[in-house]
């Protein structure tokens, strides 16, 4: 069994009843209800390879959670298809549940009034995990997430960071090949966030798990994901690597060069644009986005060869700004 995810033309439409204003409107709605369709997800297609961590991004209401609910078998798509680890999730829910782990940042799968260790024991029995394998996995997770210091504490008394670490361990106790994470680190402090990131890196690189992550934390995306799928208004608008996204929606870098002679005339260099000049300092950037844009190392070589410098610094583009530009373009295209 492979741990891949295959999504083909997946769509989900919800129908809601419009409530008319006033008492008479309420009566008309009762007798002759008006129903409208909301297309939460519309014809999206993407793959996630085994051992890959994919970030599924989009603004609030874009359809991320609806997509994950279809892939976990909670919702049935209106049209299209999906396979997770070789299983159609909404047709074989029990089999799919054994192949996946899931963590939702605002919900827990642990028993609120039981100590964490007892919740782990219940999950072991539900998934029929051998005791030796269960003990070995708990030992590994404890080393990575430091669980034993609080796993005799009732879940209701855990901090948010402690609870999410326990939820991560609980989601992986049955050794699933595919893991879904919906805003897993929301509200965490920076220390616990980094601990969780290290744990996820280990699961992908060392264990070969496939991870689908949704988050609004661009630092998390930069440190964990090599590839991003962006959806907006339920439609897939972007699928590519972080480098490709930076190249398409924003300058990938800026090079700040301090000239030895502030009166030096700046002449054009191939592939380089002057962003601004402030006295002896000149800020260069790529002439245009795209696959043929100069890398920062190529630009640095050109500038050093052409000008006499006393200092140089490189600024990476802020991924949050790049994604904001991607959202803005998606909105503009949707309005056409």
pLDDT, residue 73, reads: 93
Cα 90 from chain centroid (whole Å): 23
Instruction: Mention every residue, 6+ apart, whose C-beta is less than 8 A from residue 274.
Output: 266, 282, 283, 284
3-state secondary structure of 290: coil
Segment 216-231 mean pLDDT: 89
Cα 183 from chain centroid (whole Å): 8
Segment 193-211 mean pLDDT: 91
- Residue 53 pLDDT > 80, yes or no? yes
Burial class of residue 136, CB neighbours in 10 A (0-12, 13-18, 19+): exposed
pLDDT, residue 236, reads: 93
3-state secondary structure of 48: strand
**Percentage with pLDDT > 90 across the chain:** 53
Tell me, which fold does domain 5-246 have in CATH?
Rossmann fold (3.40.50)
Segment 88-108 mean pLDDT: 90
Is-contact 284 299, C-beta < 8 A? yes
- Residue 116 pLDDT > 70, yes or no? yes
Segment 314-330 mean pLDDT: 76
pLDDT, residue 25, reads: 65
pLDDT, residue 317, reads: 66
Question: Alpha carbon of 89 to those of 52, 143, 172, 298: distances in Å?
Answer: 19, 32, 18, 48
Q: How far apart are CA 80 and CA 44, in angstroms?
A: 9
Q: Give 115's DSSP letter.
A: B
Which helix (H) or strand (E) segment holds residue 236: the answer is strand 235-241
Q: Provide the residue count of the chain.
A: 336
Region label for 86, one of left (φ > 0), alpha (ψ between -120 and 50) or beta (otherwise): left
Instruction: Mention every residue, 6+ apart, whose C-beta is less than 8 A from residue 14.
Output: 37, 38, 40
- Residue 13 pLDDT > 90, yes or no? yes
Q: How far apart are CA 86 and CA 148, in angstroms?
A: 35
Give the model's confidence band at 152: pLDDT under 50 very low, under 70 low, under 90 confident, else very high. very high
Q: How far apart are CA 204 and CA 218, in angstroms?
A: 19
pLDDT, residue 5, reads: 95
**pLDDT, mean over the chain:** 87
Q: How far apart are CA 166 and CA 101, in angstroms?
A: 13
How many CB atoms sit inside 10 A of residue 164's CB? 25
Structure tokens at 310: 């006393």
- Residue 95 pLDDT > 60, yes or no? yes
What ranges do the domains of the chain cover? 5-246, 251-316
Backbone φ and ψ for 36, nearest 5 degrees, come out as -125, 150
pLDDT, residue 54, reads: 95
pLDDT, residue 335, reads: 66
């Amino acid at each position: 069994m492979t741990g891949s995810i295959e999504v083909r033309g997946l769509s989900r439409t919800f129908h809601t009843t419009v409530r008319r204003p006033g008492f008479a409107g309420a009566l008309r709605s009762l007798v002759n209800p008006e129903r409208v369709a909301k297309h939460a997800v519309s014809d999206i297609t993407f793959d996630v390879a085994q051992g890959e961590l994919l970030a599924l991004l989009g603004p609030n209401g874009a359809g991320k959670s609806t997509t994950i609910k279809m892939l976990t078998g909670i919702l049935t798509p209106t049209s299209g298809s999906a396979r997770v680890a070789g299983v159609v999730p909404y047709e074989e829910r029990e089999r799919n549940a054994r192949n996946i782990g899931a963590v939702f940042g605002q919900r827990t799968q642990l028993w609120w009034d039981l100590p964490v260790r007892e919740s782990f024991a219940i999950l072991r029995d539900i998934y029929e995990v051998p005791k030796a394998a269960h003990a070995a996995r708990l030992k590994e997770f404890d080393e990575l997430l430091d669980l034993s210091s609080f796993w005799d504490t009732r879940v209701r008394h855990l901090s948010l960071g402690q609870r999410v670490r326990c939820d991560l361990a609980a989601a992986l106790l049955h050794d699933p090949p595919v893991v879904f994470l919906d805003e897993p680190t929301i509200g965490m402090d920076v220390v616990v966030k980094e601990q969780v990131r290290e744990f996820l890196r280990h699961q992908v690189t060392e264990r070969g798990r496939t991870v689908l992550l949704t988050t609004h934390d661009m630092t998390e995306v930069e440190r964990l994901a090599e590839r991003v799928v962006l959806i907006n208004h339920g439609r897939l608008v972007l699928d590519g690597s972080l480098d490709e996204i930076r190249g398409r929606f924003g300058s990938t870098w800026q090079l700040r060069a301090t000239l030895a002679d502030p009166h030096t005339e700046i002449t054009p260099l191939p592939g380089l644009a002057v962003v601004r000049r402030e006295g002896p300092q000149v800020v260069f950037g790529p002439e245009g986005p795209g696959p043929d844009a100069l890398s920062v190392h190529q630009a640095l070589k050109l500038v050093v060869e052409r000008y006499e410098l006393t200092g140089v610094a490189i600024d990476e583009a802020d991924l949050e700004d790049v994604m904001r530009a991607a959202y803005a373009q998606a909105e503009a295209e949707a309005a056409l």
